[in-house]
Amino acid sequence: MNSKEYFERSKKVAPGGVHSPVRSFAGMGREPVFFKSAQGPYLWSVEGKKYIDFCQSFGPLVLGHRDAEVEAEVREMIGTAWSFGACEPYSLELAEWITSRIPWVEKLRFVSSGTEAVMSALRVARAVTGKEKILKFEGCYHGHADSLLVKAGSGLAGIAASSSAGISARMAESTVVCPLDDETLLEEVFTLHGKDLAAVIIEPLPANYGLLIQRKEFLQKVADLAKQHQVLLIFDEVISGFRMALGGMAQILGIQPDLVTYGKVIGGGFPVGCYGGKKEYMDLVAPNGPVYQAGTLSANPVGMRAGLRTLQKMEREQGWTQLDKKGEFFEKQLTDAMAEKNLQFIRQGSLFWFHQKTETPLRRVDQIPATQKESFNKVFLQGLERGVYLAPNAYEVGFLSLAHTDEILTEAATILTDVIKGL
Ligand code: PLP
């Protein structure tokens, strides 16, 4: 059975044939590829075709697919126990590893996804401050919890309109949305809403609407205003955490959040999320305090051990330096070919994206050229044809892993250069 046939069957039993929207290749004019196996930097489709994978399950697989060390750890755990729903040492080991290395994570709680981590952190922030509203930034994605599926209203960051059907107006109204990269508007928003804001949440490296690298001064302003108005600063490091550096973007920027959320890399490819921060805030969580949050499969031992082994390997092998070098190597090979076709390759560490050339660096959603979909889709589809798999959406970033050797990066860059030249 080929991908087309699988997709026809799948559409009968799942909305759009998928279990998460971006997987559907919507707007690409073809059915999604169905994959059956993966190893290192590669994916194999049900047709048996091999692809170099720059999606890496949207980020968790920082070592590549089925890293041998992590696989051995997982196999051993599966032969020991799958889930206890009780106390065990595996989550303790991961929690101690993290809290002993990241000073702003004094205590943490494991959950099963980034969405849950963010939802829970916001609940803590509301409990700490006794305030209701949340400030988020246009283009930042924080999972699909009701209060965060909102987009920017027009004009001065007014109360936002919801981005999804099925969200109550009351919920959407508790979220204030501000554009990125605009200190003046930000100050006005804090002046207007500061007294009602429980938290300001931001991806310190926004990577869900392309890669919108922020100026440090802007992020510092967010932190300063939050402090000034007794608003908790939440860094959503679900993508950047343990990928950009051991301490994520907070470490790179030298800005410590009050609460932080992690996901993706922390579970080494298994469903793990985490929220944490100052002890005084985290101690409000049940059973210690009045903020209820629980999970049947929370701190699942298989995910805990996959996560710990992944992080240990990253630390031992200086994975963050290696990833940056890989990124630089890949960037060098693609920049010129892209520039010839008026495209711009951008990158931070192991995350990359490209867009039609602009005079100034893109920092906000409204600066993204209208041609983004058109230029991306061509590169994506022709790359796919020739065995390069990018995340299937013009606004998703590409992910490198330690399994992407220089040889493989050169092979992929040669294919992409060829595709770009033919545009
Ligand atoms: N926060 C950020 C920054 C994310 O990128 C994502 C997912 O892509 C989430 C939260 C939600 O995480 P999950 O998909 O694990 O629920």
Going residue by residue through the chain, which has 423 residues, state the pLDDT in tens, using 9 for 90 and above.
999 999 999 999 999 999 999 999 988 999 999 999 999 999 999 999 999 999 999 999 999 999 999 999 999 999 999 999 999 999 999 999 999 999 999 999 999 999 999 999 999 999 999 999 999 999 999 998 888 877 533 333 344 556 778 887 777 788 999 999 999 999 999 999 999 999 999 999 999 999 999 999 999 999 999 999 999 999 999 999 999 999 999 999 999 999 999 999 999 999 999 999 999 999 999 999 999 999 999 999 999 999 999 999 999 999 999 999 999 999 999 999 999 999 999 999 999 999 999 999 999 999 999 999 998 999 999 999 999 999 999 999 999 999 999 999 999 999 999 999 998
Nearest to 181 by CA among 390, 350, 366: 366
Indicate the pairing of strand 343-348 with strand 35-39. unpaired
Say yes or no: do domains 3-66+318-421 and 68-316 share a fold.
no
Q: What is the CATH number of domain 3-66+318-421?
A: 3.90.1150.10
Instruction: Tell me the ipTM for this assembly.
Output: 0.99
**Residue tagged 């926004």 (tokens):** 206
CB of 142 sitting under 6 A from ligand 1: yes
Check if CATH label 3.40.640.10 holds for domain 68-316: yes
CB 350 within 8 A of CB 326: yes
Q: Is 137 helix (H, G, I), strand (E, B) or coil?
A: strand
Helix pair 406-421, 319-340: axis angle to 10 deg: 20
Nearest-atom index, ligand 1, CA of 263: 15
| Domain ranges (residues) in the chain | 3-66+318-421, 68-316
Q: How far is CA 157 from the centre of its chain?
A: 24
Q: Which atom of ligand 1 is nearest to the CA of 240?
A: 3
115 CA distance to ligand 1 centroid (A)?
6
Asked if 407 and 367 touch (Cβ cutoff 8 Å), the reply is: no
Q: What is the DSSP letter of 293?
A: -
10 Å Cβ neighbour count for 30?
A: 12
